[in-house]
Amino acid sequence: MIDRYSRKEISDIWTLENKFRIWLDIEIAACEAHAEKGLIPREDLAVIKEKAAFRVERILEIEDQVHHDVIAFLTAVGENIGPASRYVHYGLTSSDIVDTALSIQMRQSGTILLRGVNALMAALKAKALAYKHTPCMGRSHGVHAEPTTFGMKMALYFKEFERDRERLERAIENISFGKLSGAVGTFSNIDPALEAVVCAKLGLKADPISTQVIQRDRHAEFMAALAITAGTLDQLATEIRHLQRTEVREVEEPFQKGQKGSSAMPHKRNPILAERVSGLSRVIKANMNVALDNMTLWHERDISHSSAERVILPDSIIALDYILHRMIFIIENLHVYEDSMIENIGRTGGLYFSQALLLALVEKGLSREDAYALVQGIAMRVWKREGTLMELARKEPAIAGKIPGAEMDALFDMSAYLKNIDFVFRKAGLD
């Protein structure tokens, strides 16, 4: 991922320096396990641990000749160790190192992503509670439906990110596996007992069965957790972008001192942060398709997945981390315009009371079809600005004759729509 959309904490995990450091940790852990079994002399193990080192530049220089990154790595490390290097990588295949290291990188990244999700959930919960009873218009198909509260909107996303967190936790658990099972998973040149020992040293579990590689359903599941979380972020960003439209202006993302919105129009305050979240979420979601394709490998392994993973895994992880932190900033500093929310509720002449009026007529003995036709008839006139729904209902004999004045007044009380907000919050665990 380009630096513009990267945070150092997580992008450092995907540097060559860190990758090769993990490779070396795995090789040393394997040597230690061999030594415990008496397969490597203790004095040679001591030399390996003392002298094992690498320079990224030297590895790349060798790789340019041999066209194999693991061989280049082993050669560079061996140059520093000397004769004892003959025990490094003993009985292993390249993917024993590469796939086990990749699991570690993904687990490290997942831990950071979880912290981001938790921070965003905390920000959403704070907003949900602060605006729990702040009325705003609910919309379906982009059209006014019935009133809700802004706190309800925030609570909804809190719960969705809670599910995202659960998915990410499961994905981290299922990617936290290593393998040291050799060229086709049969342990042909390594003691099978060493795999669990080495994996435990690295904080991993041994994959129950593998080929030359760890099966890519694990990686696809991890990518799915990233993609779904990106989808939630996109949905929240889209909500903010709509509510910031000039005609709506119920919320606004932070606009900092000195910020400029347009090279041509000095008045512009655009939702660029939310738009950036939406844009990068598309990259992550698109990469999910590649992860699914990577599940299909020839027999015990081919290398078609490798080049793709070198792009989609770090890019998706770093991008998700970035947009999580952008959204945390947006939510924590969101401008909420309660007056605009009230103004927008009244913009459609009380049309949102149509269902209450319909049900009241049904309770008075009308068929649902007849009641629907009556209410729809006056509602269409409200759209034409001939009056409010209450005004036209009072003037319609077939309605006014069924519902007396005081009862009509009670029907057109917005608080009835919000009477169960506390119940919803309790049900969502936000009381």
- Round the average pLDDT of the chain to a whole number and report it: 96
Instruction: Identify the pLDDT of residue 266.
Output: 67
Confidence band, pLDDT 50/70/90 cuts, at residue 255: confident
Supply the DSSP symbol for 207. Answer: P
Fold type of domain 351-411: Ribonucleotide Reductase Protein R1; domain 1 (1.10.40)
Distance of alpha carbon 252 from alpha carbon 233, whole angstroms: 16
For domain 93-253+266-348, the CATH architecture is Up-down Bundle (1.20)
Distance of alpha carbon 143 from alpha carbon 122, whole angstroms: 30
The answer to whether the CB of 274 falls within 8 A of the CB of 305 is no
Distance of alpha carbon 90 from alpha carbon 351, whole angstroms: 76
Mark whether 299 is an active-site residue: no
List the one residue out of 239, 246, 237 whose CA is nearest residue 272. Answer: 237
% of residues, the chain, pLDDT over 70:
98
The answer to whether the CB of 425 falls within 8 A of the CB of 132 is yes
The pTM score is 0.93
Catalytically annotated residue among 67, 140, 141, 267? 141
Mean pLDDT of 306-335: 98
Q: What angle do CA 219, 22, 204 make, to 5 degrees?
A: 55
Distance of alpha carbon 178 from alpha carbon 322, whole angstroms: 28
Instruction: Identify the pLDDT of residue 264.
Output: 67
Confidence band, pLDDT 50/70/90 cuts, at residue 405: confident
Instruction: Identify the pLDDT of residue 431.
Output: 83
Instruction: Identify the pLDDT of residue 270.
Output: 86
Distances (CA, A) of 381 to 90, 141, 384, 387: 83, 21, 5, 7
**What is the per-residue pLDDT across 92-112, written as a single tens digit (0 to 9) for each?**
999 999 999 999 999 999 999
Exposure class string for 282-305: b at 16+ Cβ within 10 A, else e: ebbbebbebbeebeebeeebeeeb
For domain 1-90, the CATH architecture is Orthogonal Bundle (1.10)
Mark whether 306 is an active-site residue: no
Break the chain into its structural domains and give their ranges.
Answer: 1-90, 93-253+266-348, 351-411
Distance of alpha carbon 288 from alpha carbon 273, whole angstroms: 23
Catalytically annotated residue among 6, 34, 109, 262? 262
Side chain identity at 313, as an amino acid letter? Answer: L
The answer to whether the CB of 185 falls within 8 A of the CB of 132 is no
C-beta atoms surrounding 267 within 10 Å: 6
Mean pLDDT of 4-23: 97
Question: Tokens 């509260």 correspond to what residue?
Answer: 149
Mutual angle of helices 304-332 and 272-293, in 10-degree steps: 150
